[in-house]
Chains A and B, each alone.
Chain A
Amino acid sequence: MIITKPLHSLLALILLATISSPLPAGELPRGLITLDNSLADNFQISDYDGKHYDLMQSRGKWVFVHFWASWCGPCRKEMPIVYKLEKQLADKPIDFVLINTAEDEDTIFAFLGSVAPDLHSYMDKDGDITEAWSPRGLPTTFFIDPQGRKRYLALGGRPWDKEEYQRFLQSLFNTTQ
């Protein structure tokens, strides 16, 4: 079979698109939007035990970057689902990075203790990282791909345990990155 060069290029593009996009935009679950693939701003952050994290250390894995605050109602509702999700995906190449926006240790500790005791969050003490990443509201989740690019954004709290969201999450790991 002879494939002309333009057609060959087209097929290559389609193949590339298939490889680099887990799900086409039209098949994304409600509330998820595709981002522009730009490189995510790096950040370093600590938790209330002084444990440090650098976004760079997650290269090669997906990263679930989740901005939240205890005073935000949808955050309260979503957090137990995020907790279950983290446990469910423990053996998958994805890091969960929860970032609390500008609250103190006691508030974070008390809040997580009541909704998801084993969930771990970092503290954006002055709100600077949140400001730089400009989530559209709280909560907001960014999906960073293994190359460190911003790929998807989840608006507000999402029912991650529902089928369409589970399908989306699994699709992240079914593609060659």
Chain B
Amino acid sequence: MLKARISILILVITGFYPGMMHAAAATPDFENDQFRLHLSPRTPNQIAAFYTGRGFPPFAIDEVRKLCFITVGLRNKSNDLLWLDLSNWRFTTSEGELKRYLRPALKQHWQELGLEKRFQATFRWTLMPEKLDFRPYEGEGGNIILPRTDKPITVTASIAAGKDKAPIYDVKIENVYCAVDP
């Protein structure tokens, strides 16, 4: 069956040069009748403050500071299902694809570093779900973690709407930056 695909391109216009991106960096939004998608790149200080406030030990704070956190918010605005599958999302720069850190690799890393299980659990709960069938009007949020880069990132997010997973919306957001501390 041929499924309708709808492509949407969003260019994030910012008044900053990449090297000047701060906590106030552009937070791209996309909204249509089916859903609202919001991306918020987080600075190392923001991430460190969040996990320090949760009691994470200093060695874990040092680790999260090295990474590029983008908080994703997705809300189903319709009375039908909406399908999230992060394996259909791509992150690219002029140098090629940025590989997102996946849960098994993060878990292994924390285990190797000896992070307490309770902190590992909290960390998992702050990640965006890998797959989710959003019920009518349901909203979820969480972090996506990328290797840190100062290059502009293009995010391509495929989101399916409806019981039959059609149409599929391909939302392309350009000029997303890893946020840096002021």
Q: Which A residues lie at the B interface, using CB under 8 A?
A: 30-31, 33, 69, 71, 101-104, 107, 124-128, 130-131, 136-138, 155-156
Given the known inter-chain contacts A33-B135, A71-B53, A127-B124, please indicate yes or no for A103 contacting B118, CB distance below 8 A: yes
B117-135 vs A, CB cutoff 8 Å, 1 = contact: the mask equals 1111110110001001001
Contact, CB under 8 Å: A137 / B122: no
CA distance A113 to B95 in the complex (A): 51
Contact, CB under 8 Å: B55 / A130: no
A124 cross-chain contacts in B, Cβ below 8 A = 121
A126 cross-chain contacts in B, Cβ below 8 A = 117-118, 121
Contact, CB under 8 Å: B135 / A155: yes
**Which chain A residue has the least Cβ–Cβ distance from B142?**
A137
A30 cross-chain contacts in B, Cβ below 8 A = 136-137
Given the known inter-chain contacts A71-B54, A155-B135, A155-B138, please indicate yes or no for A130 contacting B121, CB distance below 8 A: yes
B120 to chain A, nearest CB (A): 7
B147 cross-chain contacts in A, Cβ below 8 A = none
Contact, CB under 8 Å: B125 / A101: yes
B139 within 8 A of A: yes
B140 within 8 A of A: yes
Size band of the interface chain B makes with A: 20 to 34
B118 cross-chain contacts in A, Cβ below 8 A = 102-104, 125-127
**Which chain B residue has the least Cβ–Cβ distance from A126?**
B117
A11 to chain B, nearest CB (A): 31
Contact, CB under 8 Å: B137 / A31: yes
CA distance A147 to B161 in the complex (A): 36
CA distance A174 to B133 in the complex (A): 31
Can you spell out 30 A-B residue pairs with CB atoms less than 8 angstroms apart?
A: A30-B136, A33-B135, A69-B122, A71-B50, A71-B53, A101-B125, A102-B117, A102-B119, A102-B122, A102-B125, A103-B55, A103-B122, A104-B55, A124-B121, A125-B118, A126-B117, A126-B118, A127-B118, A127-B124, A127-B125, A128-B117, A128-B121, A130-B121, A130-B125, A136-B129, A136-B132, A137-B141, A138-B125, A156-B138, A156-B139
Contact, CB under 8 Å: A131 / B54: no
